[in-house]
Amino acid sequence: LATEQEVRMRQFQRHLARVRPVAARGEPHHTHAAFAETPLEHVQLLTSDIAGRSVRLEPYGVVLTKKQGRRLGVNPAWYLDMTKGHGWLTVPLNTLVDQAFAAGSFRDQPIASLTPFIEQMGTWDVGRKEFWWEREWRATTNIELPGRVMVLAPESDFAAITGAFPNTKSFPFRLLDPA
């Protein structure tokens, strides 16, 4: 029986081999891989406890430059302000989405290729969702990682990660603890 760390390392190896799009929560018709554009001085905020944050991120990731991401087909997400009274963009977009669903097969409609790149933001009666220091990028296709990348992982996992690649010359990652 594999230990929890061994299972995590196998998952990590598969993740590093290829970044694959996954279905967004609650929206099975959207599949995308998400990347956060975050200055290195703020990378610890991705996994920190922040008041009001509803998502707990794991301390693992792959670091790409914007240039690498663009070459791989990664595109910035479009933040759509959905604050009450800001309907000049949301109403036309929702109309296009409704029309696509009414047509029968959402995936076959042109708007379906845009919606994975759109993210809601704004202030509501029950809270807010804003992006002050981070920008999300997304891809809707499989991404083959370039030869050398930086990998975010807890320092406590560094030995297990490097141990998963017995030939150190073939270890194409630089490790960085996001904490």
Asked whether 124 and 110 are in contact (CB, 8 A), the reply is no
Chain CA centroid to CA 158, Å: 22
CB atoms within 10 A of CB 148: 10
Which secondary structure element, helix H or strand E, spans residue 31, and what is its range?
A: strand 27-37
Which pLDDT score, from 0 to 100, does residue 18 have?
44
Structure token digits, residue 111: 């708007």
pLDDT tens digits in sequence order for the chain, 179 residues long: 556 655 555 555 554 444 444 444 444 445 667 787 887 787 887 778 877 777 777 788 888 888 888 988 888 888 888 888 888 888 888 899 899 989 988 888 898 888 888 888 888 788 777 766 667 888 888 777 777 778 888 898 888 887 776 665 666 778 888 88
Q: List, in sequence order, the alpha helices (H) in 18-155.
A: 66-71, 87-102
Distance CA 46, CA 40 (A): 10
CB atoms within 10 A of CB 143: 20
Distance CA 130, CA 149 (A): 29
Torsional sign, CA 164, 168, 173, 179:
positive
Structure token digits, residue 61: 């990731």
User: 26 to each of 19, 22, 48, how far by Cα in Å?
Assistant: 21, 12, 25
Q: List, in sequence order, the alpha helices (H) in 38-86.
A: 66-71
